[in-house]
């Protein structure tokens, strides 16, 4: 049996800032709350996200608040009612939950948020991803730490089993909430949980699958290391575009090429997750045929021996920002104070007003996605297209950030 308190102290031995704890009231998160409270190594604040998908969710959040009050820990309930009945409910709710928790953590000055994921979650996730024919990245174990919305999400209990946590709660006389959706056969995770129970007699246990996931995580790290090395040698940045020699890119091992392209798309868009595997494979096939294409708000083109990954104009056509704030999440523009000034994409009309744009060495399509300063329909400045007019533009990330993406998980 795992020594549960040691998992907490070991995970947080270098994290001493105020921490959040996400608690739904289920056994895993409730055990995490008690373990964190007993640890006492950092100030704590608890959060429950009420998705308002069940009538009992409100009272359950109130029950968690009462438990926190008995432990002397501040508690907040965040509500989400954004489900419109379309798409994947679990994925949509998860994304909303993380976004709400990240904003909450920033509001309260928390250095991170602890989550109650366990070894069983790792095993169930691996089974679900096997069904989707996932590759190395999809089958790799959940990371113990992950950045989400500028906040570190902590998973200190990945080496613990759900049974251990329930035994721990029973020993201290604590009760937990059983979410009925956990036994609802309409959900893939419920089916994975049942399948895991059925597989145990042949030795395919939660521990065995967690070990496989750990091996996959090691392989993922190795592939990321070599992808970062190749990117360091091949990739150049030109006014926010990524350039690579097309012949050298074509000679890369397929998985390394896929990783560099996926990271390049994220580097440009700032997306938290990479493109879907089938979509990425289609784009790679188009590159191999010399056609290029678009994906996730980016345009990939080939000219001579240059492979260019750039922002797609349609993705920034309506993007606006006030001077002094980031535009498209990646550009900072600074210059003279002007009333009613606005940052927008240069576009075709703005490019036509900047005859020096050709000196940038960028294709017209890339020039049109550059940030510019506008007052209404009047172009004031386009510092990256040869019309600075007292303004400067700075890209918020560089090639080292691309390499970091390849190394991180």
List, in sequence order, every beta strand (DSSP E) within 124-253: 145-148, 151-154, 236-238, 241-245
Q: How far apart are CA 107 and CA 148, in angstroms?
A: 15
Rounded-to-5 percentages of helix, strand, coil across the chain: 45, 20, 35
The string of DSSP codes covering 351-389 is HHT-GGGGGG---HHHHTTSEEEEETTEEEEBTTTTB-T
Q: Is there a binding annotation on residue 28?
A: yes
> Is 27 assigned a ligand-binding role in the annotation?
yes
70 is in an annotated binding site: no
CB 361 within 8 A of CB 306: no
> How far are the Cα atoms of 79, 88, 393 from residue 96, in angstroms, in the given order?
10, 12, 32
| 112 marked as binding residue | no
Asked whether residue 109 is marked as a ligand-binding residue, the answer is no
Reduce the DSSP state of residue 17 to 3 states and report it. coil
Task: Give the integer Cα–Cα distance in Å for 122 and 319.
Answer: 38
Is 390 annotated in a binding site? The answer is no
Q: What secondary structure letter does DSSP report for 321?
A: B
154: CB partners within 8 A, 6+ apart:
11, 12, 15, 19, 112, 113, 114, 115, 144, 145
Annotated binding-site residue numbers for ATP: 24-29
Annotated binding-site residue numbers: 24-29
């Amino acid at each position: 049996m795992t020594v549960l308190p040691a998992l907490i102290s070991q995970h947080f031995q270098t994290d001493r800032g105020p921490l959040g704890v996400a608690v739904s009231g289920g056994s895993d998160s409730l055990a995490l709350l008690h373990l964190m409270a007993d640890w006492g190594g950092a100030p704590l604040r608890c959060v429950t996200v009420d998705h308002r998908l069940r009538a009992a969710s409100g009272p359950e959040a109130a029950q968690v608040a009462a438990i926190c009050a008995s432990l002397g820990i501040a508690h907040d309930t965040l509500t989400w009612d954004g489900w419109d009945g379309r798409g994947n409910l679990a994925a949509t709710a998860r994304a909303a939950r993380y976004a709400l928790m990240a904003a909450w953590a920033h509001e309260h000055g928390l250095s991170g948020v602890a989550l109650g994921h366990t070894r069983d979650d790792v095993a169930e996730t691996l089974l679900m991803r096997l069904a989707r024919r996932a590759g190395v990245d999809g089958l790799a174990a959940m990371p113990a730490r992950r950045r989400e919305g500028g906040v570190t999400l902590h998973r200190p209990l990945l080496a613990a089993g759900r049974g251990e946590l329930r035994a721990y709660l029973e020993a201290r006389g604590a009760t937990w909430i059983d979410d009925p959706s956990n036994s609802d056969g309409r959900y893939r995770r419920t089916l994975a949980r049942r399948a895991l129970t059925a597989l145990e007699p042949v030795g395919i246990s939660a521990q065995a699958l967690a070990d496989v996931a750990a091996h996959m995580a090691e392989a993922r790290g190795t592939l990321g290391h070599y992808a970062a090395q190749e990117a360091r040698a091949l990739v150049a940045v030109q006014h926010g575009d990524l350039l690579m020699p097309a012949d050298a890119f074509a000679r890369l091992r397929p998985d390394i090429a896929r990783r560099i392209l996926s990271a390049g798309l994220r580097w440009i868009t700032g997306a938290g997750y990479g493109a879907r595997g089938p979509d990425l494979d289609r784009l790679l096939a188009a590159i191999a045929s010399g056609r290029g294409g678009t994906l996730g708000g980016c345009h990939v083109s080939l000219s001579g021996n240059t492979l260019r990954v750039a922002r797609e104009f349609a993705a920034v056509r309506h993007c606006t920002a006030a001077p002094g704030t980031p535009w498209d999440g990646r550009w900072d523009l600074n210059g003279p104070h002007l009333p009613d000034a606005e940052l927008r994409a240069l576009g075709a009309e703005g490019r036509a007003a900047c005859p020096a744009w050709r000196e940038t060495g960028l294709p017209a399509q890339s020039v049109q996605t550059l940030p510019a300063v506008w007052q209404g329909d009047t172009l004031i400045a386009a510092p990256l297209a040869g019309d600075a007019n007292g303004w400067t533009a700075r890209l918020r990330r560089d090639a080292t950030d691309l390499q970091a993406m390849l190394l991180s998980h």
